């Protein structure tokens, strides 16, 4: 979705406001307020703005912390480290001015971020109706950051109207989650299900901060300084600088370009669009009918000629480098958090070159955030891309496998974790409606890695291969109770021992993968194929929508993998 000219001006105004906000008498970001959740077990940071050289006092739990603002008007204190509890009050004073915050809880604070599948709200989620009706846990609080774009890091966030639930801490309840004006169809469904599981595991309050935006590539979530650390990302740094340099001129011509676009769109709608919309209505009905009959949905039809493209806004749109970090992450930097949950990568999978680059961009983003926060290597947990598009025709095809590989390689960073969801996607919808399973699987990773619970949090992971004549024998880690064929039926993984193992491809020296026969042999998989007498490599679930059905008997799917190090082939 493109920002309008008025939006561009509004964001430019916000940038101007934030660059001069130090002139404000006494100010805190909306992330500090009634109902906020503070992170337990760390020296809790509180910070804000006032006139230079002013004295600030923060009183909390019987102790007063003092600070003096710097020349830039910024001040900060680090309070004590607290155990979970509450509710508490906080008092902040500056001269004769006083702020009082009430109903403060201390517990676990997580930031949910990424693109549209993290943004996907609880109101339209598959289980959302029941989830909302039972959302009565007042120890879960939410904070949604309204979307804003910026070419420079913002200190403040876009203000919300007084009646809005956005940009303020709200308490979990059916009314809050059902509010049609809260985020995009409600707070992140994955964020909510994750919070539920953290509550059950820890027994303490949970604060979920939602800061996400659909259709965004990972480079939009990295700072200019973070991108500049790698020569490979110079193109992104240069593009952002071009936007900065051209912002004033682009803003001046934007209204005329918008007018020309609207005129072209009227013509297109009259000649193509109206009829095409009717075709799409029929296609949607055919997709629903196909799903109901367990048939492959038809391919989405294309218009006779493409619709005109709206002009790029002066900020570069949601895909421009640094724009999302600057707009909706920078205002949060420094707030005490336990960690981050992340779901993104679809946009970087649109082109093969971008998909391959993800293995470098994604870890760069995580390291960048950790450096900016200054809270060490906090946990960073993420969803691997699900299955999507038409079922795989060959055992090695399309772009998303390379994004998934980039996600797996990012696990080399300390304190990261990943949930595999290649069985939860949908053929014709990039937004699968079942977010309960992704949320719970990501919570499994947190329960094991972050909270030390003795749970199985991963399916089988490729360990090694051995060539034996015309066979390749694959060994795995984390098989736990053993390997099995299984499938997801509703929300339950159903084991089917003895069923054919699918999703494996094998190749010889020609690098051409063909579907393989795979059989379980104890704790290994034996892979063969007719016509491949001297195999060299195996790939598993290496497609946008792969058919793999290998799980461990604990009900978790095997990670996609490849045993080769061959360069990607251009489709």
Three-class SS of 385-425:
CCCECCCCCCCECCCHHHHHHHHHHHHHCCCEEEECCCCCC
Q: How far apart are CA 281 and CA 429, in angstroms?
A: 15
- What's the rounded Cα separation, in Å, for the pair 98 and 104? 17
Distance from chain centroid for Cα 302: 29
∠ CA 181-184-189, rounded to 5°: 115
| Helices assigned H by DSSP within 40-178 | 116-119, 128-133, 174-178
From residue 497, alpha-carbon distances to 285, 487, 541, 548, 556 in Å are: 36, 11, 19, 14, 15
Q: C-alpha distances in angstroms, 168 versus 25, 35, 97, 162?
A: 21, 8, 21, 10
Rg (CA), the chain: 25
Residues forming a β-bridge with 382? 342, 418
Q: Give me the helices (H) in 128-233, please.
A: 128-133, 174-178, 189-202, 224-228
Q: Residue 543 and residue 277: Cα distance in Å, rounded?
A: 31
* Long-range CB contact pairs, 16-23, < 8 A, 24+: 17/156, 18/154, 18/155, 18/156, 19/152, 21/49, 21/73, 21/155, 21/156, 22/49, 22/51, 22/52, 22/72, 22/73, 22/74, 23/51, 23/73
Q: Are 190 and 341 in contact (CB under 8 A)?
A: yes
Q: How far apart are CA 461 and CA 448, in angstroms?
A: 16
The CA distance from 264 to 28, in Å, is: 46
User: Residue 507 in contact with residue 386, Cβ under 8 Å?
Assistant: no
Give whole-number Cα distances, 245 to 85, 235, 437, in Å: 49, 15, 45
The Cα diameter of the chain in Å comes to 85
Give this prediction's pTM: 0.91
What does the angle CA 482 – CA 484 – CA 487 come to, to the nearest 5 degrees? Answer: 135
Within a 10 A sphere around the Cβ of 302, how many other Cβ atoms? Answer: 9
| 571 residues of the chain, pLDDT tens digit each | 334 434 444 444 444 444 444 345 789 999 999 999 999 999 999 999 999 999 999 999 999 999 999 999 999 999 999 999 999 999 999 988 999 999 999 999 999 999 999 999 999 999 999 999 999 999 999 999 999 999 999 998 877 788 899 999 999 999 999 999 999 999 999 999 999 999 999 999 999 999 999 999 999 999 999 999 999 999 999 999 999 999 999 999 999 999 999 999 999 999 999 999 999 999 999 988 887 888 888 999 999 999 999 888 899 988 999 999 999 999 999 999 999 999 999 999 999 999 999 999 999 999 999 999 999 999 999 999 999 999 999 999 999 999 999 999 999 999 999 999 999 999 999 999 999 999 999 999 999 999 999 999 999 999 999 999 999 999 999 999 999 999 999 999 999 888 899 999 999 999 999 999 999 999 999 999 999 999 999 999 999 999 999 999 999 999 999 999 999 965 4
> Is 3 exposed, middle or buried (CB count within 10 Å of its CB: 0-12, 13-18, 19+)?
buried
186 within 8 A of 176, measured Cβ to Cβ: no
CA 411 to chain centre: 16
Q: Collapse the DSSP code of 503 into the 3-class scheme (helix H, G, I; strand E, B; otherwise coil) and give the result.
A: coil
> For residues 188 and 344, is the Cβ–Cβ distance under 8 A?
no
Residue 22 is predicted with a pLDDT of: 39
The whole-number pLDDT of residue 513 equals 97
Nearest to 454 by CA among 476, 436, 480: 480
Which residues make Cβ contacts (< 8 Å) with residue 502, sequence separation at least 6?
Answer: 485, 518, 547, 548, 549
- Asked if residue 3 lies in contact with residue 149, where contact means CB atoms within 8 angstroms, the answer is yes
- In the chain, the domains with their CATH numbers are 20-232+321-454 (3.40.50.1110), 461-562 (no CATH)
**CA separation, residue 363 to residues 293, 471, 566 (Å):** 42, 35, 22
Q: What is the pLDDT of residue 11?
A: 45
Q: What share of the chain is helix, strand, coil (3-state, %, to 5)?
A: 30, 25, 40
Contact 249, 281 (CB under 8 A): no
Q: What angle do CA 256, 261, 267 make, to 5 degrees?
A: 135
| CA of residue 510 relative to chain centroid, distance | 37
- Host H or E run for residue 519: strand 517-521
Using omega within 30 degrees of 0 as the cis cutoff, is the peptide bond preceding 365 cis? Answer: no
What's the chain's length in residues?
Answer: 571
Rounded distance, CA 93 to CA 78, Å? 16
Residue of 16, 25, 80 whose CA lies nearest to 49: 25
């Amino acid at each position: 979705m493109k920002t309008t000219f008025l939006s561009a001006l509004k964001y430019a105004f916000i940038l101007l406001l934030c660059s001069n906000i130090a002139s404000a008498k006494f100010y805190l970001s909306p992330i500090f307020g009634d109902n906020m959740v503070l992170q337990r077990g760390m020296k809790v940071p509180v910070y804000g703005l006032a006139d230079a050289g002013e004295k600030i006092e923060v009183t909390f739990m019987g102790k007063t912390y003092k600070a003096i603002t710097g020349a830039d008007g910024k001040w900060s204190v680090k309070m004590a480290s607290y155990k979970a509890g509450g509710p508490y009050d906080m008092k902040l004073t500056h001269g004769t001015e006083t702020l009082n915050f009430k109903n403060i809880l201390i517990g676990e604070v997580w930031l949910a971020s990424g693109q549209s599948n993290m943004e996907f709200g609880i109101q339209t989620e598959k289980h959302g109706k029941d989830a909302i009706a039972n959302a009565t846990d007042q120890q879960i609080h939410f904070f949604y950051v309204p979307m804003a774009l910026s070419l420079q890091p913002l200190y403040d966030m876009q203000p919300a109207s007084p009646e809005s639930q956005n940009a303020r801490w709200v308490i979990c309840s059916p009314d809050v989650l059902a509010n049609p004006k809260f985020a995009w169809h409600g707070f992140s469904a994955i964020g909510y299900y994750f919070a539920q599981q953290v509550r059950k595991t820890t027994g303490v309050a949970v604060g979920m901060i939602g800061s996400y935006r659909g259709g965004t590539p990972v480079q939009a979530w990295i700072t200019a300084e973070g991108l500049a650390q790698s020569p490979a990302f110079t193109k992104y740094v240069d593009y952002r600088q071009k936007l900065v340099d051209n912002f004033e001129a682009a803003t001046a011509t934007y209204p005329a370009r918008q007018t020309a676009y609207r005129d072209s769109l009227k013509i297109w709608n009259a000649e193509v669009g109206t009829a095409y919309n009717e075709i799409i209505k029929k296609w949607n009905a055919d997709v629903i009918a196909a799903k109901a009959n367990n048939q492959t949905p038809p391919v989405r039809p294309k218009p006779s000629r493409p619709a005109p493209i709206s002009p790029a806004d002066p900020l570069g749109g949601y895909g421009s480098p640094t724009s999302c970090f600057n707009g909706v992450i920078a205002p949060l930097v420094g707030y005490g958090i336990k960690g981050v949950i992340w779901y993104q990568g679809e946009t970087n999978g649109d082109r093969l070159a971008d998909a391959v680059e993800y293995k470098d961009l994604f870890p760069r983003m995580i390291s960048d955030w950790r450096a900016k926060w200054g809270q060490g290597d906090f946990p960073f947990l993420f969803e691997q891309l699900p299955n999507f598009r038409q079922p795989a025709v060959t055992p090695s095809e399309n772009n998303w496998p390379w994004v998934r590989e980039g996600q797996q390689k990012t696990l080399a960073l300390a304190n990261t974790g990943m949930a595999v969801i290649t069985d939860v996607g949908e053929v014709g919808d990039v937004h699968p409606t079942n977010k309960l399973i992704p949320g719970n699987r990501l919570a499994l990773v947190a329960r094991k890695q972050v909270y030390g619970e003795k749970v199985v949090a991963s399916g089988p992971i490729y360990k090694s291969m051995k060539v034996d004549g015309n066979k390749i024998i694959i060994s795995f880690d984390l098989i736990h109770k053993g390997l099995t064929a299984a499938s997801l039926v509703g929300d339950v993984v159903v084991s089917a021992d003895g069923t054919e193992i699918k999703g494996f491809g094998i190749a010889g020296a020609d690098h051409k993968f063909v579907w393989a026969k795979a059989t379980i042999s104890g704790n290994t998989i034996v892979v063969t194929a007719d016509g491949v007498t001297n195999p060299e490599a195996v790939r598993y679930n290496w497609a946008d929508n792969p058919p793999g059905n290998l799980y461990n008997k604990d009900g978790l799917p095997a990670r996609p993998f490849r045993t080769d190090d061959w360069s990607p082939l251009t489709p």
